Amino acid sequence: MDRYKGFYIDRPKGNNIFSYEERSNKSIFVPSLIEGTLEDVAVGEEIVFNEIDEDKEIKAKGLKNMVFYKKEDKDIYIFDNHNHAFYFWINSLKSNKFKKGCKLVHVDQHKDMREPENYNVDMNSLDDVFRYTNEVLNVGNFIQPALKHNIFSEVIIIDSSYGFEMDIEGEYVLDIDLDIFSKDMEYISYDKRVSKIKELIKGAKVITIASSPFFIDQEYAIKVLKELFNCDIIEELI
């Protein structure tokens, strides 16, 4: 956790590469990682993602902190930009939290299966994994390296009505992008999405969750996040 202490990226690297030359703002922030609970997940004041969309510069504010949340036997990482999942996967793998070569279940509005500019990372060094995550990877290309380096044997993408009907067997790491609750996904009922994700949460010991500030309102994303977990608690008490 000590690598994520809060820092700025001011070069056209990682998530700061998008529309870099055209933007007025040239810097994005990567927040600190703290250990806490869902109550510690809050919107911050820093710009964490900056892009020009339809000639408008969007300066998206992300989370105040990334949060490592330990819930019973589950390791849960909550952060804003999705590429950070790569670092947390490797960190969890080195701690023997899941078996190398298991499945990745990716619940997201987007497939995030683009190719990165390179696969040059020393998987035995968390320092180099950290560099690679923040300087090479971005929100759209962080899954292919995990497959290339055999962290996962396959990725199961849940981004459609069909995906929410699938049954997942065997060991898996669960990767959630809260933009699955954006307005573009409202053709799938809210209750169906919540129910399926809660089911997947129960079966996973390592869970990575992105709040994706460019794609969904952060206050709403946090509200959904809390429902996904607090509903489990309510059900257990009934």
Most confident of 1-10, 217-226, 227-236: 217-226
Q: What is the pLDDT of residue 2?
A: 75
On the 0-12 / 13-18 / 19+ scale of CB atoms within 10 A, 215 is buried
Domain membership of residue 46 (yes or no) is: no
Report helix, strand or coil for 238.
Answer: coil
> What would the pLDDT profile of 33-49 be if each residue is shown by its tens digit?
999 999 999 999 999 99
Contacts 24+ apart (CB under 8 A), 47-50: 48/15, 48/80, 48/81, 48/213, 49/15, 49/18, 49/80, 49/81, 49/139, 49/213, 49/214, 50/16, 50/18, 50/19, 50/23, 50/25
Domain membership of residue 52 (yes or no) is: no
Q: Cα angle at 104 between 139 and 84, to 5 degrees?
A: 30
Domain membership of residue 36 (yes or no) is: no
Residues 6+ apart with CB under 8 A from 124: none
28 bridge partner residues: 9
Domain membership of residue 222 (yes or no) is: yes
Domain membership of residue 161 (yes or no) is: yes
Q: What is the pLDDT of residue 171?
A: 98
Q: What is the pLDDT of residue 232?
A: 45
9 bridge partner residues: 28
Q: What is the band of 68 on the pLDDT scale with cuts at 50, 70, 90?
A: very high
Number of domains in the chain: 1
205: domain range?
66-237
> What would the pLDDT profile of 97-151 be if each residue is shown by its tens digit?
999 999 999 999 999 999 999 999 999 999 999 999 999 999 999 999 999 999 9
Asked whether the predicted pLDDT for residue 234 surpasses 80, the reply is no
Domain membership of residue 11 (yes or no) is: no
Report helix, strand or coil for 218.
Answer: helix
Q: How far apart are CA 238 and CA 233, in angstroms?
A: 9
Domain membership of residue 95 (yes or no) is: yes
Whether the Cβ atoms of residue 97 and residue 205 lie closer than 8 Å to each other: yes
Mean pLDDT of the chain: 94
Domain membership of residue 190 (yes or no) is: yes
Q: For the chain, what is the largest distance between any 2 Cα atoms, rounded to a whole number of angstroms?
A: 55
Asked whether the predicted pLDDT for residue 231 surpasses 70, the reply is no
